[in-house]
Structure 1
Amino acid sequence: MPSVLSNIVGLALLACIHGAFAAGPAPVLLGTAANFAVLAKTGVSSVPNSAIDGNVGVSPATITSVTGFSLTQDVSKQFWTSTQVDGRVMGSTDALPTPGLLTTAVLDMQAAFTDAMNRPLPDFVELKAGLIGGSILTPGLYKWTTGVTISTAITIAGGPSDTWIFQISGTLVQATNVVITLTGGALSQNIIWAVGDTVSVGANGIFEGNILAQTDVTIGTDAIDHGCIYAQTDVTLEEATVSCEGGIVTPPPSSSSSPVSSTVPPSSTPASSSPSSSIPPTSSIPPTSSIPPTSSSAPITSAPTSTKTTGSARRTSTKPYGPYGPYGYY
């Protein structure tokens, strides 16, 4: 008994020590939005070939607002596939239960944006008047009432449990060829950029962190975004890479059925739902609902609530498909 008690006390002490050494604000909860690498209200476009590790969703827009991806509809009619997406592509008029899942994810995206933008008592206010090129950014809550420009390389320095929230009322612009570097074990999934206007990442740049934008997001040619993108208007990828943490967690089973269409149809009434089965999300962190693996027979269902943010998995090239082949599996 003393041995068991001492083990329990030891584990509790370790948990306290871990919490004590984490710096920065409480994480922003993404809810079901964590199931998506890219989520937008009005559209997602690609200048081929872009590459996305994870699911793509648009709502209330329909699948016709997802352009440049050469989509192929699954036989379930619940989602689409693309050689540029290692995951599923979904629109608001796909078959049930996709519309409801997208509606909830968009609401969670909006809630996360509101939370991040309204956090009080910032640690840093108007740092360098928004011209933060060359900065080393330690954990904390940062606030700017105007825009932020990253004209030269910056470093985000901290440990793997540390967090950063950047509240930006105006635009966020990262110049061409500029790189954000993480040091000390800092993780992209612990970084939130909440932006009240547009976000633009220049060509050949590397961006770190999850983007919560009130309007649109553009990732330039050959740029790499290590993080998820959540836009309340649209997302434009110009031969860019979006790598949200974990991608497809495990290789999903191969589909035995063939796709039914290679052309995106106009909006239609959602079909009836089919039996439930669960699947891995675009993040290794359990979200509030999950999108099933790329298979023509597995419909979409729900899962436990997430208490963490999503993040990035490193990628150094813009290949037009993920690690499990052009449709997310071999």
Structure 2
Amino acid sequence: MPALAAGTAACAATAVLMLSGTGASAQPAPVGLGTAANFSVLAGSTVTNTGDSFLAQSLGVHPGNTATGFPPGTVAGEIHLADDVALQAKNDLTTAYNNAAGRTPFTSLPAELGGSTLTPGVYRIGAAQLTGTLTLNSENDPAAVFIFQIESTLITAANSSVVFINGASPCNVYWQVGSSATIGTGTRFVGNILAQTSITMNTGATLQGRALAQTGAVTLDTNTINAPVCLQPTGTPTTTPTGTPT
């Protein structure tokens, strides 16, 4: 009987963990972006901008060769259109995408992320929706890593947000999107978006991270994309050197 009681308690604890969906079982390693880490925006076909968007890092397109709307948009880094630099960054993006997509073990989540508080780990979602606020809790570890494996689309409602508590680093958040990502009007988003197809940022949306699309377009409308901060163990933020918007 004591053994049976212990087994029942263990099963109950496992059930609670599975239902909570707030953390994966092990701390994952960061996803290496290679030279793609130098880019605010990468696209496969084209980049289209409307309004005074600001990109803190570089812009690249490959195999496409067009980027329209700069100016009025500003790129603080470099612009690479169908050149060897863009090709290498796209190859590195493909490697990073496959790395993120293949991570295990993972915790399955429902489609709606709004209202959730998640701890570091790998999460899998069929089609992801963010309405309201998603909170990422690093549990006082500035090196904490969050990887989201999304099988199809990522869509955020207007004025949604991703926020941190307890010292998480934006550079260690990865959104691997199986098709396309749409960031809603006024959304405050965080992390590296690695999309198989396209990325659309609607009017006034901001991103502390990168918008990296493998095959399709990246579409911008009066957006700000800042380089993601990486917190050191002392809590001192560091970023890739970037320009300053004027």
- Helix, strand or coil at the partner of 2:225: strand
Q: Would the alpha carbon gap of residues 216 and 170 (structure 1) be closer, same or farther in structure 2, given more than 3 Å must change?
A: same
> How far off is 1:284 after superposition?
2.7
Aligned to 1:84: 74
**Higher share of residues assigned strand:** 2
**Structure 1 length-normalised TM:** 0.61
Q: Is the 8 A contact 1:192 1:209 kept in 2?
A: yes
Give distance in 2, aligned partners of 1:83 and 1:149.
28
Aligned to 2:165: 183
- Of structures 1 and 2, the one with the larger relative CO (CA 8 A, separation 6+) is 1
Q: Deviations over 1:85-111 (max 9, x none)?
A: 11111101xxxxxx2222111111011
Q: Deviations over 1:44-72 (max 9, x none)?
A: 1111111111100111111xx201113xx
> How far off is 1:167 after superposition?
0.3
How many matched pairs?
209
- What is the 5 A alignment of 1:214-233? 214-232=196-214, 233=216
- Helix, strand or coil at the partner of 1:211: strand
Aligned to 1:95: none
Q: Is the 8 A contact 1:147 1:170 kept in 2?
A: yes
Q: Deviations over 1:100-144 (max 9, x none)?
A: 22211111101100110111221x11x1x2112100011001012
Pairing partner for 1:149 from 99, 124, 129: 129
Give distance in 1, aligned partners of 2:73 and 2:154.
30
- Helix, strand or coil at the partner of 2:78: strand
Is 1:107 equivalent to 2:63 in the alignment? no
Q: Is the 8 A contact 1:47 1:68 kept in 2?
A: yes
Give distance in 2, aligned partners of 1:39 and 1:185.
28
Q: Match of 1:243, as an amino acid?
A: N
- Helix, strand or coil at the partner of 1:112: helix
> How far off is 1:324 after superposition?
6.3
Give distance in 2, aligned partners of 1:174 and 1:83.
23
Give distance in 1, aligned partners of 2:69 and 2:178.
27
- Helix, strand or coil at the partner of 1:87: coil
Aligned to 2:69: 68
Give distance in 2, aligned partners of 1:324 and 1:37.
14
Q: Is the 8 A contact 2:40 2:58 kept in 1?
A: yes
Give distance in 2, aligned partners of 1:121 and 1:324.
41
Q: Which runs of 4+ in 1 moved over 6 A?
A: none
> How far off is 1:245 after superposition?
3.2
Q: Is the 8 A contact 1:45 1:237 kept in 2?
A: yes
Q: What 5-or-longer segments of structure 1 have no aligned partner? A: 1-22, 71-81, 93-98, 247-282, 286-292, 294-321, 326-330
- Helix, strand or coil at the partner of 1:284: coil
- What is the 5 A alignment of 1:297-308? none
Aligned to 2:228: 245
Give distance in 2, aligned partners of 1:83 and 1:217.
17
Give distance in 1, aligned partners of 2:27 and 2:222.
34
- Helix, strand or coil at the partner of 1:228: strand
Pairing partner for 2:36 from 24, 33, 57: 33
Q: Is the 8 A contact 2:31 2:96 kept in 1?
A: yes
Pairing partner for 1:132 from 113, 119, 137: 113
Aligned to 2:177: 195
Is 1:170 equivalent to 2:152 in the alignment? yes
Give distance in 2, aligned partners of 1:101 and 1:163.
28
Q: How much is the aligned-residue C-alpha RMSD, in angstroms?
A: 1.8
Aligned to 2:240: 284
Aligned to 2:233: none
Give distance in 2, aligned partners of 1:83 and 1:135.
34
Q: Would the alpha carbon gap of residues 87 and 24 (structure 1) be closer, same or farther in structure 2, given more than 3 Å must change?
A: same
Q: What 5-or-longer segments of structure 2 have no aligned partner? A: 1-25, 230-238
